[in-house]
Amino acid sequence: MAKDPTPLERFIQGIIPENPVYRQLLGLCPTLAVTNNMKAAMTMAGAVAFVLLGANILTSLIRNLLKPHLRIVIFTLTIATFVTIVDRFLAAYMYTMSKSLGPYIPLIIVNCIIIARCEVCASKQSVVTAGADAMGQSLGFGLALASIAAVREILGTGMFFGLRILPLSWPDWVIMVLPPGAFFTLGLLLGAVNLIESYREKGRNKG
């Protein structure tokens, strides 16, 4: 059996090598839905980070008490509670953002990333490792969201975070902020990541 990954390894793995969106293909629903603009994407990334961190740490604290056939129930309960807290928090302090994100914040509950991390890492390893894993994965998720949101917002509206980047003469590619644009952007970026990964594989095999 290989040694369990250390906290630092977990953290670094989560950012690019085991990126939840591009490599594990988890959590695609919010990735497509909220990446219309950077602000919404970053809010979603922050919310997922909070829930992932909380759920991982709590699960890791009680990992020795978990019964195998009840653990999914406990994961679900924990995640649902944290998501409710985040949702109420956003409704209180960022009301317009909460309204535009709409039903996608509660959908974090069924976001496969969080249950997968609880199952794979938090229920087996210590609190520090679980915390590092959560931070790495959320950073990776945030990076993925940022990449897609940047493409969609810049091409679709010429703005970035609400600030004008492209000149006014840019004909807005409105399709990018509509659903098809989300599918195209994610599909093409996924293809690009796969291509880069295959070149790195070839380089590794040659050397």
Partner 1 sequence: MDYFLDIFLIAISAALINNFVFYYFVGICPFIGVSRKIDMAVGMGCAVTFVITIAAFLSWTITTLILIPGAPLSSFVAGFFVTEAQAATIDLTILSYIVYIFAIASSVQFVEMYIRKFFPLLYKSFGVFLPLITTNCAILFACLTIMSNVAGVENPADAWGLGKSLTLAFCGGMGFTLAIVIMSGIREELDFCDIPASLEGAAITLIVAGIISMAFMGFAGVDSGLRKAMESGEITFRSQLKLPDSESQISVLLAAFTK
Partner 2 sequence: MEKLKNNYIVQAWLVLLLTLCFGSSLAGVQILLSPKIEANKINETRQKIPGLILDKAALERLEKEGGSLEIKPKTIRVTKNNRIVFYKVFQAIENGKVSGWVVKSSGQGYADKIELLIGLNPSLNKILGLFVLEQKETPGLGNKITKWQFRKQFILKSTNMPLVASKTGATSPNEIDAITGATISSRSICSIINTAVKEIRASLKENPINLKPMK
Residues that bind partner 2 (CB under 8 A): 62, 65-67, 70, 73-74, 77-78, 81, 84-85, 88-89, 91-93, 95, 156, 172, 174, 177-178
Angle made by CA atoms 57, 61, 62, in degrees to the nearest 5? 125
Report how far residue 148's alpha carbon sits from residue 41's, in angstroms, rounded to the nearest whole number.
9
**178 or 196: whose CB is closer to partner 2?**
178
Which of partner 1, partner 2, none does residue 89 bind (CB under 5 to 8 Å by kind)? partner 2
What is the contact surface with partner 1 in residues (CB under 8 A)? 25-26, 28-29, 32-33, 73, 76-77, 80-81, 83-84, 87-88, 103, 106-107, 109-110, 112, 115, 175, 178-184, 186-188, 190-192, 194-195, 198
Q: Closer CB to partner 2, residue 143 or residue 184?
A: 184
Q: Minimal distance in Å, beta carbon 9 to partner 1?
A: 26
Per DSSP, the three-state class of 143 is: helix
Contact present, 5 and 13 (Cβ < 8 Å): yes
Quote the least distance from Cβ 13 to partner 1, whole Å: 20
Among partner 2, partner 1, none, what does residue 103 contact (CB within 5–8 Å per kind)? Answer: partner 1
- Name which of 7 and 54 has its Cβ closer to partner 2: 54
Least distance from partner 1 to the Cβ atom of residue 1, Å: 24
Are 48 and 108 contacting, i.e. CB atoms less than 8 angstroms apart? yes
- Could you tell me which of 130, 129, 90, 84 has the C-alpha nearest to residue 109? 84
The DSSP string of 135-189 is HHHHHHHHHHHHHHHHHHHHHHHSEETTEE-S-TTS---GGGGSHHHHHHHHHHH
Least CB distance from residue 169 to partner 1, whole Å?
26
In terms of Cβ atoms closer than 10 Å to its own Cβ (0-12, 13-18, 19+), residue 203 is: exposed
Least distance between partner 1 and beta carbon 14 (Å): 19
Q: Which two tokens stand for residue 19?
A: 């990126």
Q: Please say which residue, 13 or 185, places its beta carbon nearer to partner 1.
A: 185
Nearer to partner 2 by C-beta: 25 or 174?
A: 174
Beta partners for residue 159, in sequence order: 164
Q: Which of 28, 11, 9, 47 lies closest to 140, judged by CA?
A: 11
Q: C-beta of 27: minimal distance to partner 1 in Å? A: 9
CB 63 within 8 A of CB 122: yes
